[in-house]
Amino acid sequence: MIKTFFTLIICLICLQSFAQDSIAVKREFANKEYIHLYKENADLAYTAPGGELGAPSKYVINGRLTTTYMLLGSYKSPIAFAIIPDFTVRVRNEFSAAVRTPSYRLGGALYARLNPDPEHYKYAELAFTHHSNGQDQSAFNPDGTINTRTGNFNANYLTLSYRFGDFTPISADESYYSFNYRLGLQWYKFFRYEPALNEGFGFTRVLYGFSWRRYDEIEKKARNKQKVKSEKETWRLNTELSYAVNKIPSKNFANIQKRLNAEINFNYSFPFMNNVFLMAAVGYYGEDNYNIYFQDHYSYVRFGLSSGFLRNRSRHYDN
């Protein structure tokens, strides 16, 4: 009887230890996989000849360069941290091909994993960003208009986002999809900013984003495949909306023409491309987000190349 009792105790201890080990392995796997999700959900960089077609100014080429430096991204922690530089320039269509007022953003993002399932992920993101244009002249012209040529622009803001998404099962042709969502809120007035922004800037914005992505097996006929499948993100459809909800002089809450920013872009990668898309976008700026140009509003289209931390990896046959 005593021997049976001790045997049961030992079995219970072993089962508990095994369960704890299984939970620990699952958490470590989730922590590691979420790092890829944080980077894949970051904004794409792009190069666009002609820039935003439809803008009040004409451009030779526009470019956005952004990346993610993941300083903290360990399998041991559900918390991650990254430094994110984000630089946009518009080269003007004039004799000197001037840039005039580039848009510099530099900040950091803190991520918190909210569940252990990367296939149906949920996480929170809190980012701080400094935004300036490298100019130091008065933001106002003598006639009281905004100085978009050499006028100072500086602002700092927080962005709180809830991101979630789902991956579909892998189909018979080895393709699958992901549906990715973002709900967020952006605040500027917690920090110092250029006083000229009081003339009509969206200091508080509600954010929404949706991204539909397809992944396919590539290099199906390669002779050196062995026991792995090469897969990549084939295309990505992004929709991004933001709406200013703060008080704006002479603009009521329903003034969509001033308050709404919206863009839909489609990015496609041919099988021979690696980590790059052909990009086409159509959108509307109620408030041009290119620093000191915040009073401009217009519809636009954009064509070019885009890139980011795209899914492009090898997967074993038994996965």
pLDDT score, position 128? 98
Q: What is the pLDDT of residues 13-47, one digit of tens each?
A: 544 545 455 677 889 989 999 999 999 999 999 99
Q: Rounded distance, CA 56 to CA 187, Å?
A: 28
DSSP-based three-state secondary structure for 3: helix
Q: What is the pLDDT of residues 298-318, one digit of tens each?
A: 999 999 999 999 887 665 555
Phi, psi angle pair for 29, to nearest 5°: -60, -45
Q: What is the mean pLDDT of residues 241-259?
A: 92
Q: Which of 241, 128, 114, 267 is nearest to 182 (CA)?
A: 241
Residue 297: Cβ within 10 Å count:
17
Instruction: Please tell me what DSSP assigns to residue 102.
Output: -
Q: Are the CB atoms for 42 and 66 separated by under 8 Å?
A: yes
Q: What is the pLDDT of residues 45-63, one digit of tens each?
A: 999 999 999 999 999 999 9
- Per-residue confidence at 97, pLDDT binned at 50, 70, 90? confident
Residues 6 or more apart in contact with residue 278 via CB below 8 angstroms: 267, 268, 269, 270, 305, 306
Q: What is the mean pLDDT of residues 114-142?
A: 95
- Work out whether strand 45-49 and strand 103-113 pair parallel, antiparallel, or are unpaired: unpaired
Residues 6 or more apart in contact with residue 41 via CB below 8 angstroms: 163, 165, 180, 182, 211
What's the predicted TM-score (pTM) here? 0.88
pLDDT score, position 115? 95
Q: Does residue 139 register a pLDDT over 60?
A: yes
Q: What is the mean pLDDT of residues 161-171?
A: 96
Give all domains of the chain, ordered by start, each with its CATH number: 1-315 (2.40.230.10)
Q: Which of 142, 160, 158 is nearest to 150 (CA)?
A: 142
**Residue for token digits 């954010």?**
207
